[in-house]
Each structure stands twice: as structure tokens, then as C-alpha cells.
Amino acid sequence: GNSVTQMEGPVTLSEEAFLTINCTYTATGYPSLFWYVQYPGEGLQLLLKATKADDKGSNKGFEATYRKETTSFHLEKGSVQVSDSAVYFCALSDNRDDKIIFGKGTRLHILP
């Protein structure tokens, strides 16, 4: 079945450091891929998405490229801020039903 695997957290970085959160997936066909972010005490918000191979999603300085050859969708940001501290979820949909499969989430702490 479909699944998403993302790196275990927590990830702790200093402000302005480079961020990578790894995400790989298993799916049949051509899924759509997402990163959602959950700030403390809030619901999830879509951060970015990509719907086909080689697409790059980007938002708020974050980027992720849909790599079909490596079945990956790693999240990157060049210079993180304290306000980026949150839990990040990689997710996929195989576009055949209404279901989104979420990874287990990666908690990110940014130190000032």
C-alpha cells in the first residue's frame, strides 16, 4: 500500500542554518506530494505541493522537488528562522480517492 517515511525528529538547528527534512514515499502510479506544517496549538496548513515528477513546490522560502527516480520529496530551506519551529508532515495522495497519507511528522526546533 501507499506510505510515507520521513526523518525522525526532533531536529534542532540554530537560526540561519540550512534545513533539510527527508521524505520518501511508496505509491502506485503518479501520486501528488505535499508538505504540511503544524505550528504549536494549531491545525495543519499546507506549506507546498507538487503534482507531477520534477515539479518544485515552494512557499515561504521552503522548497521541495518531486523526484520520481528516488521516490523522494525532501523539504529544504536555506536559512531558517525561530518562527519556523513547528512539526512538518510529508504526505501523498494517489489521486484515486479522497485520502491523503501522512508521514509521522518531524518536529523542528530553531534556536535563536
Partner 1 sequence: DTAVSQTPKYLVTQMGNDKSIKCEQNLGHDTMYWYKQDSKKFLKIMFSYNNKELIINETVPNRFSPKSPDKAHLNLHINSLELGDSAVYFCASSQVGPPDTQYFGPGTRLTVL
How far apart CA 77 and CA 88 sit, in angstroms, is 13
How far apart CA 33 and CA 102 sit, in angstroms, is 10
* Window contacting partner 1 (CB under 8 A); options: 18-26, 64-72, 73-81, 103-111: 103-111
Q: Does 46 bind partner 1 (CB under 8 A)?
A: yes
Phi/psi region, residue 41 (left: phi>0; alpha: psi -120 to 50; beta: rest), is left
Q: Does 109 bind partner 1 (CB under 8 A)?
A: no
Q: Does 98 bind partner 1 (CB under 8 A)?
A: yes
To partner 1, the closest distance from the beta carbon of 93 in angstroms equals 3
How far apart CA 14 and CA 49 sit, in angstroms, is 26
Residues that bind partner 1 (CB under 8 A): 32, 34, 38, 41-46, 49, 51, 87, 89, 93, 95, 97-100, 102, 104-105, 107
